[in-house]
Amino acid sequence: MKVLSVASELYPLIKTGGLADVAGALPIALAAHGVETKTLIPGYPAVMKAVKKPKKVYDFDSLLDERATLLSARHEGLDLLILDCPQLYERSGGPYLATDGRDYPDNWKRFAVLSKAGAEIAAGILPDFIPDLVHVHDWQSALVPVYMRYAEAPEVPSLITIHNIAFQGQFAGSLFPYLELPGHAFYEALEYYGTLSYLKSGIITSHAVSTVSPSYAEEILTPEFGMGLEGLIASRGSDLYGIVNGIDADVWNPSADELLPSAYSATTLKKRAGNRAALNERFGLDADDGPIFAVISRLTWQKGLDLVPEVLDEILDAGGKLAILGSGDSFIEAALQGAAAYNRGRVGMVLGYDEKLSHLMQAGSDIILVPSRFEPCGLTQLYALRYGCIPLVARTGGLADTIIDANEAALAAGVATGVQFAPVTADAFRHAIRRTLRLHSDQRLWSQMQKQGMKSDVSWNRSGATYADLYQRLVSKGQ
Ligand SMILES: Nc1ncnc2c1ncn2[C@@H]1O[C@H](COP(=O)(O)OP(=O)(O)O[C@H]2O[C@H](CO)[C@@H](O)[C@H](O)[C@H]2O)[C@@H](O)[C@H]1O
C-alpha cells in the first residue's frame, strides 16, 4: 500500500513538539506492515540544509498563485517529498513563529499551499507514486482532504490525526476567496463562527478521524476537552479512532544511547549514577543523593507547569532537587527561572530546546513531572518508562492510558509504573509528590517499578499494526 503523509514537522529534520516524533517514526513502523510512506513537508531552511541530493520531481506553476518545486529525497530511512517554495518557507524563525515569537501573518497561505500540493499528489501528478491513502496531521495539513473533496478527481481515502485540538488553524473569513475553493465549501466545510477553521474542515472532509490515545478520543467528545469541536467530532460517530503513540525504540534506547555518559539496562540500573552525576553538573545541582525531579516540556498552560512553583517546597523540604528544560509562555518561564535563582544547587533550569540534554535528563533523573491539564498522548512519559525514570503524571488523555498508577493493588501485583493524580490542582499535585517520595524511599519497590516500566512495550509495534489495519479498512471501504 502507498501512503502519502503530510506533516508540518518531521523528526529528525524539524521539530517543535510531539507531532514531529510521530510523523517521523510512524512511516518506519508501517514499513514492517507493507506500507510504503512518502512524507510531504515544507522546504524549511533546516530541511533544505540537511537533505542531500534532492531530486526535482515536479514544478507547480501556481499553488494559490505561488510557484513551487517538488523535490524527492531519502533521509535517515524516510522517503520525503519536499515542497520547495522559498517565498513561503525560507524564514529565519521556526516553522510557525517568526523570531519575535509571533505567528507568521501568512500562515494561512503557507499551510494551504502545502495542503494543495498534497491534494495534487493524491490526484496523481507523480506517475511513480499514486497514493492509495492520504494521512494528514493537525490543522497545518487539514486542508488536504478539503482540496481533495472539491477537486474533480477520484477521491483517495483520507485520515486526519488530531495531535492537539487546542490548535485549530483559525483565520479571518475574508481570506476564503484566496483558497481557490468553490463558494459552497465555505459553509459546507470551513466556516467557524464567521472565521475559517482548517482543523474543522479537515475533520468534516476526511474519511476517518483519529487521535493519539483512546482516552483523548473520548475526552474530545466533551465540552471540557473538545474546545468547541466536540459536537462536530461526535457527528463523525464510529469514524473516530484513538490510537496511542509509540516511540522510536532505537533513538530512545538506554543501553545503546550515544548521548549518555553511561549506558545501562534494566539489569544494570546502578550505572544510571554516571548520568546522574553529569545531570547534577549540567544543572548546577548539589552532588547529593536527593531524588531528582525533572521537567522536559513546552512551558504552557496545557502542560500544567505553572503549578510547579506552587508545589516546589514539597520537593525541596524532602531533600529533592529539580532540573527543568523548556521554553514557552514568558510568565511560566519567569516563575521557574525565579525558582532556580532563589534555590541554587536545588533547582536548575535550562531555557530552550535541547534534544540531546533531554536524553541525559531521562537517564539521570529519578522522576519526570507531567502535570498536564490535557494531554492527547504525551511522549515524555513514554521515554521515561524506557529509561527507568518514574513518571508522575496527571490522570488525563494518553497519560492515563500509558501509566499504571502505583496504588496498592498495582503494587501488590507488581504492575505499577508511575504515579497519577487528579484533578490538576496544586493540592492533588502535592499529594502525589508526597506519595512518590514515599515510594522512592523504598529502594526495592522503586527498582521494581523502574524495571516494570522498562519492560513495557512503548515501541510502535502494536500501534503500527493498528494504523496499518485502519489504513487497510479505509482503502477497502473506498473500493
Ligand atoms: N525544551 C525541550 N527540549 C527538548 N525536548 C523537548 C523540549 N520540550 C519538549 N520536548 C520534547 O518534545 C516532545 C513533546 O511531545 P509531547 O507528546 O509531550 O507533547 P506535544 O504537546 O508537543 O505534542 C502533541 O502531539 C503529541 C504527538 O501526538 C502528543 O503526544 C501530545 O499529547 C500532543 O500535545 C517530546 O519528545 C519531548 O521530550
pLDDT category at 366 given cuts 50, 70, 90 is: very high
What is the chain's percent helix, strand, coil content, to nearest 5? 45, 20, 35
Atom number in ligand 1 closest to CA 327 = 1
Residue 437's pLDDT is 98
The x, y and z cell numbers of residue 350, run together, are 535550562
Nearby residues of 414 by Cβ (< 8 Å), 6 or more positions away? 448, 452
What's the whole-number mean pLDDT along residues 282-305? 97
pLDDT at residue 153 above 90? Answer: no
Q: For 270-275, which contacts have Cβ atoms below 8 Å and span 24 or more sequence positions?
A: 272/363, 272/364, 272/388, 275/360, 275/363, 275/364
**φ and ψ of 220, to 5 deg:** -70, 0
Kindly give the distance from the C-alpha atom of residue 303 to the centroid of ligand 1, in angstroms, as a whole number: 10
**Strands of 240-242's sheet in order across:** 55-63, 66-75, 78-84, 36-42, 2-6, 133-137, 158-162, 208-211, 240-242
* Protein residue with least CA distance to atom 26, ligand 1: 18
What's the whole-number mean pLDDT along residues 393-417? 97
pLDDT at residue 155 above 90? Answer: no
pLDDT at residue 471 above 80? Answer: yes
Residue 154's pLDDT is 75
Q: What is the pLDDT of residues 156-197, one digit of tens each?
A: 999 999 999 999 999 999 999 999 999 999 999 999 999 999
Kindly give the distance from the C-alpha atom of residue 306 to the centroid of ligand 1, in angstroms, as a whole number: 17
Length of the chain: 479
Distance CA 242, CA 210 (A): 6
Helix (H) or strand (E) holding 278: helix 272-282
Q: What is the pLDDT of residues 86-97, one digit of tens each?
A: 999 999 999 999
Pocket test for ligand 1, best of 135, 301, 380, 460 (most atoms within 8 A of CB): 380
What's the whole-number mean pLDDT along residues 138-164? 94
Average pLDDT, the chain: 97
Kindly give the distance from the C-alpha atom of residue 16 to the centroid of ligand 1, in angstroms, as a whole number: 8
Kindly give the distance from the C-alpha atom of residue 245 to the centroid of ligand 1, in angstroms, as a whole number: 12
Distance CA 185, CA 436 (A): 53
Q: What is the pLDDT of residues 211-252, one digit of tens each?
A: 999 999 999 999 999 999 999 999 999 999 999 999 999 999
pLDDT category at 206 given cuts 50, 70, 90 is: very high
Task: State yes or no: 303 annotated in a binding site.
Answer: no
What's the whole-number mean pLDDT along residues 351-360? 96
Cβ contact 466:243 at 8 Å? yes
What's the whole-number mean pLDDT along residues 57-77? 97
pLDDT category at 479 given cuts 50, 70, 90 is: low
Q: What percent of the chain has pLDDT over 70?
A: 100
pLDDT at residue 328 above 80? Answer: yes
Residue 333's pLDDT is 98
Residue 32's pLDDT is 94
Q: Is the CB of 18 under 6 A from ligand 1?
A: yes
Q: Is residue 61 exposed (0-12), middle (13-18) or buried (19+ Cβ within 10 Å)?
A: exposed
pTM (predicted TM-score): 0.95
pLDDT at residue 475 above 80? Answer: yes
Atom number in ligand 1 closest to CA 326 = 1
